[in-house]
Amino acid sequence: MELEKRARKAVARWFELEGHAVLDRGFEGFVVVIEDGELVFAKVFAERGMDFPNGHVTRAEFERVIAQWLVRGDRPIDLPVRCDCVDVAVLADDRAIVRRVTNCLEVAR
């Protein structure tokens, strides 16, 4: 579990370096950001080695997580929502390859 937590932290940092506002760094395995006027729920999968993880998330899981996140306190609800998947192949403690699939519910991975 530590690997996935570190991967989510690295993905959140990547979003920040790209200039996007990170709203949540680990809500049920997701990183939540505002990117280009959209509320992005990015599911992060991580695995050690040279191959990307074969993670899968269903539309139902995305919808459940989005609904649970939005009902918690003061959340932006007037933005379009997008579902992304981010796969992290961890090569070493300080090296990883990241593959991001935008709108992963619409794109075959």
- Concatenated DSSP letters of 13-54: HHHHHTTPEEEEEEETTEEEEEETTEEEEEEEEEEESSSPP-
In this prediction, residue 25 carries a pLDDT of 92
Question: Of 3.40.190.10, 3.40.1350.10, 3.40.50.261, 3.40.50.300, which CATH number belongs to 2-101?
Answer: 3.40.1350.10
pLDDT at 20 over 70: yes
Residues 6+ apart with CB under 8 A from 69: 24, 27, 30, 32, 41, 75
Kindly report, residue by residue over 60-106, the tens digit of the pLDDT: 999 999 999 999 877 777 899 999 999 999 998 888 899 999 998 87
Least confident of 31-40, 45-54, 73-82: 73-82
Q: What percent of the chain has pLDDT over 90?
A: 63
Instruction: Return the domain boundaries, the chain.
Output: 2-101
User: What mean pLDDT is reported for the chain?
Assistant: 90
In this prediction, residue 54 carries a pLDDT of 82
